[in-house]
Structure 1
């Protein structure tokens, strides 16, 4: 019901409790007051009756009764006159005073109807007074129409003997009228006080609850994220101090949330720009935070709330909670070896008070490191193999010369020595290339750069391979666009690049085919030099690795032709050190084109 809603308000609760307490207090005070007031008027009324009896006794009523009993003439008239003389009660209030002899018969009365004289009073409690059991007696009873009466009896004694009694019957109508009047007046005053107190209670409750309502409203607004409003401080009491404390709390919350947002922004910025992926989970393994790098490494999106085992395709399920840090490796895209991604996973539990409440997973893409490590191992293996092969040949031929009697045959000995010399030269070239690559890697080679004419450098290179091309009936062509800018390069290093490229072109170009050397100026001033052949070409799958050290498309054929597998790697290092770039295009069975760029010789560069 709607009226029951008032009990949901602190204000009305305070008002109702306040009024209820006041009503209880007024009720208790009223009951006590009414009872005391009634007792007071009863005692006062009884005192007036006792006073009337005492006046009669002091007036000599015992002598009068004794005389009347002795046969005194006109005793009725005499006793009536005696009562009239000593009667002090309100004659209009209906009190009745009777003088009784020792047997309980009425000797005289103040009643208008005198017929009762001579009749016996049958009140049993009056008889007790006449017999001397009680000296006086007071009793209350209701008369007609609920009228209340006070009956008072007192013994009349002479020389210690009871000779009669005074009996007074007095209605208490006026007394109770006075009590009711006082009660009505008190009730009106109480109602007025109750109304005034209720108004003051409402005012007091509003004084207390209005600031509380305002604070409650502000708290609700704060719960929605608005911390800019302030609670009005209207006093310096407890409510005012509560409002002040609430405003301080709101300010501290604003500062804390602002700092939290700032820290959150910093954390998000750090997570977004980390080179490693980060996934945070709760104690149940559900994702709560993930940065962009993690999704890039995994190659898929991970939703918040997703289980970690579903986000990471682990070979074995992760058992939570972890007791300590754990590392493992994850391989992605296993089907394509060239696109294989190796991820290092580091699991670190989050602890709070000796309890594991979450997990931080750091994802590191170690594909390049693994590839470099694999290349290092392959490089060491290749070097070992390349050195072991000529050494084995040299050893076997020397043993044949020493132990096999080949020295006795001059022609055979000369052939063995020629093979040994060729293998030694091959080892020398290999070691020379390795040392050169090492110096290029460590940037220890000092290039003697100078302005060079591209046409002159290419013409000299073509001249060096003219004889070999003629021997294989290869058509060697040189095309130079006009004009070509000068380049700024080391002539010896540039010659080595051209020699490596021309040597490969001659080796892998069959007889009757052609080799073309071209040079042209690019729009940005760089010179593009290209060596094209119409030889056997290179398969597409090998092009991405063609510049790797010791990488050969056809290892057996390359080794038989005397190659070390380092020529293209050296050429790449030299070109890039000059600030250029080298690329290769090839179509298997149709030929290969190698292009590299060199920066122009700008005037401000020359010293």
Structure 2
């Protein structure tokens, strides 16, 4: 079926209609039948001409035998002038009145010509392809048996043979011409019927190839192998129709199930084909990108930009597509994309069929805006705390070192002031440690940050006293 479709498409693409093939088939059949008929006609006519020639030779032998009966007496009584003249007159009368006898010659036993009727004329006739010469011995019965007394040579013009041969040849030519015309007509009619059936089959194949399963070819006017072929084609078409209906239902069910699973995923999912066109997007991705499905599907993912007019995916998609891969072993591309203040963790993965054919890629989006903010706050807090921790530790160490080395030089009031500062700095250090511990809990779910107002002067006074 595929070969027939390729042949039909080739005929259409080259601009030559199917009629050319029809003409070639008719010409081929006509040439073959003509060659067979011509060969048969030549063989039959040639055999017939040979049979006529052989029959004419037999006719000449019969005439020669008839003349030899009278000629034997002529040879014996050759010296009798009256008898000789009478015989010669009889022979010349026969030659003159016969269109088939060209000449008659009589010779004695020594080969001497005793009589010849118009030898020159016979020689001219002998040069034609149809002239025949017949020679027989002349014998007589005596006491010693048969004795050869001479010979007779009979020259035939072939007149009757030519008439019969020509009539026979013309009749055969007419018969074979009629047979040739009938064979050409049979070839033409048969070719037209075959071409018509082939056109019906090609039309059915085109219908099937275009997806019109269930198409049937009418078999009412068909017969033989073509009818059985078309019945098998119709049976195949109906089976394809049932198979298609079954597959469509199954594919629809599987697609709906796949879309239901995809839509229920918490992370955003965008499926793109090899041309970067968005094929499918779930609800989570629509919410993250703040777009509508009908506006986003069938557009280029690389052309998507946020409210600030910045292309969000173009650079990362280009980086992903520029990454070399081998078979279906391509590495996923993980990155972060900022869209209208949101931070989206993005994973771009290629899509392959079971035969390693590249189909496109899928983009998985995860909103990590809160995690990114917590991470930023943590890094800022740790940077500040690392500096702030040095202050109380330095103060405590300084005061303790002073008391340890110069205790006798201070009175009780000063000592108590030093101890009070050490106590305040210790409390401050303890508060910082507690803040660090509390800050580590920000990553836990269900934790909300509450901001409140505080009095600045006590904080400044504590900072001055700690110096």
TM over 0.5: yes
Distance 1:153 1:345 in 2: 114
* CA gap 1:375/1:309 in 2 versus in 1, 3 angstroms: closer
Please point out which of 164, 171, 185 is paired with 2:175.
Answer: 185
Q: Which residue of 2 aligns with 1:132?
A: none
> 1:66 Cα deviation (Å)?
0.2
Is the Cα contact below 8 Å between 1:11 and 1:206 reproduced in 2?
A: no
Q: Name the structure where strand makes up a greater proportion of residues.
A: 1
Distance 2:78 2:16 in 1: 83
Higher relative contact order (CA 8 A, sep 6+): 2
Alignment of 1:365-384 (within 5 A): 368-381=370-383
> 1:312 Cα deviation (Å)?
0.8
> 1:26 Cα deviation (Å)?
1.4
Q: Which residue of 2 aligns with 1:18?
A: 29
Distance 1:295 1:312 in 2: 22
When Rg is computed on C-alpha atoms for both structures, the one with the higher figure is 1
> 1:329 Cα deviation (Å)?
4.1
* CA gap 1:6/1:331 in 2 versus in 1, 3 angstroms: closer
Q: Which residue of 1 aligns with 2:3?
A: none
Q: Which residue of 2 aligns with 1:34?
A: 45
Distance 1:79 1:313 in 2: 130
Q: Which residue of 2 aligns with 1:536?
A: none
Is the Cα contact below 8 Å between 2:350 and 2:360 reproduced in 1?
A: yes
Please point out which of 300, 305, 309 is paired with 1:303.
Answer: 300
Q: Which residue of 2 aligns with 1:206?
A: 196
Is the Cα contact below 8 Å between 1:211 and 1:243 reproduced in 2?
A: no
What runs of 5+ residues in structure 1 fail to find an aligned partner? 108-116, 127-137, 142-148, 446-496, 509-555, 564-607
Distance 1:198 1:82 in 2: 62
Deviations 1:233-257 (A, max 9, x none): 6666455445545665676677677
Q: Which residue of 1 aligns with 2:215?
A: 229
Distance 1:54 1:409 in 2: 188
Name the count of aligned residue pairs: 410
Distance 2:250 2:84 in 1: 116
Is the Cα contact below 8 Å between 1:326 and 1:346 reproduced in 2?
A: yes
* CA gap 1:63/1:35 in 2 versus in 1, 3 angstroms: same
Distance 2:440 2:331 in 1: 39
Alignment of 1:65-464 (within 5 A): 65-71=74-80, 73-78=82-87, 94-96=99-101, 98-102=103-107, 119-124=118-123, 140-141=128-129, 150-158=131-139, 159=147, 162-171=150-159, 172-207=162-197, 209-219=198-208, 222-223=209-210, 225-231=211-217, 237-238=228-229, 240-241=231-232, 244-245=235-236, 248=239, 275=267, 287=276, 293=285, 303=300, 311-312=314-315, 319=322, 321-322=324-325, 325=331, 327=333, 329=335, 339=341, 341=343, 360=361, 362=363, 364=365, 368-381=370-383, 389-405=391-407, 408-427=410-429
Deviations 1:370-406 (A, max 9, x none): 4433334444455555655444444433333333438
Q: Which residue of 2 aligns with 1:569?
A: none
Partner of 1:69, secondary structure, is: coil
Partner of 1:287, secondary structure, is: coil
Q: Name the structure where helix makes up a greater proportion of residues.
A: 2
Partner of 2:105, secondary structure, is: strand
* CA gap 1:213/1:157 in 2 versus in 1, 3 angstroms: same
